[in-house]
Amino acid sequence: MKKLAVAWNATLALLYVLALPIYAAKWLRRAVESLFNLSELRKGFIDCPHCGFRNPLDILAFCRRCGMAEFGSRLYCTTCKQVTKAFPCDRCTAAIRVL
């Protein structure tokens, strides 16, 4: 019984070691994507992939969750801390995914 437990733990450890590069690659990809998104956010605008309209990210924004209206990023509500990942283009209303 004891041998079985040791074998089980060893198999599990081996699986973790084998999966590590996959998880590391996944995390790295996400980190690169997030950093890229951040640089996009820093520019302050996003071009609509559908119609090419330049949508400002920082405007008089309304939170879809709590209804708060404030000057700031349209992706983040400072009142309810809601993060919005996508918003409709101001011209063609196509959904633009940012985060």
The contact set with other proteins (CB under 8 A) reads 30-31, 34-35, 37-38, 41-42, 44, 56-62, 66-69, 71-73, 75-76, 78, 81, 83, 99
Which tokens sit at 78?
């400072």
Q: 58 or 93: whose CB is closer to other proteins?
A: 58
> Contact, 57 vs 48, CB < 8 A?
no
Phi–psi pair at 7, nearest 5 degrees? -60, -40
CB of 52 to other proteins, least distance (A): 19
Q: Is 77 helix (H, G, I), strand (E, B) or coil?
A: coil
What is d(CA 66, CA 44) in angstroms, rounded to the nearest whole number?
Answer: 23
- Please, which residue, 13 or 29, has the CB nearer to other proteins? 29
Q: Which is nearer to other proteins, 10 or 33 (CB)?
A: 33
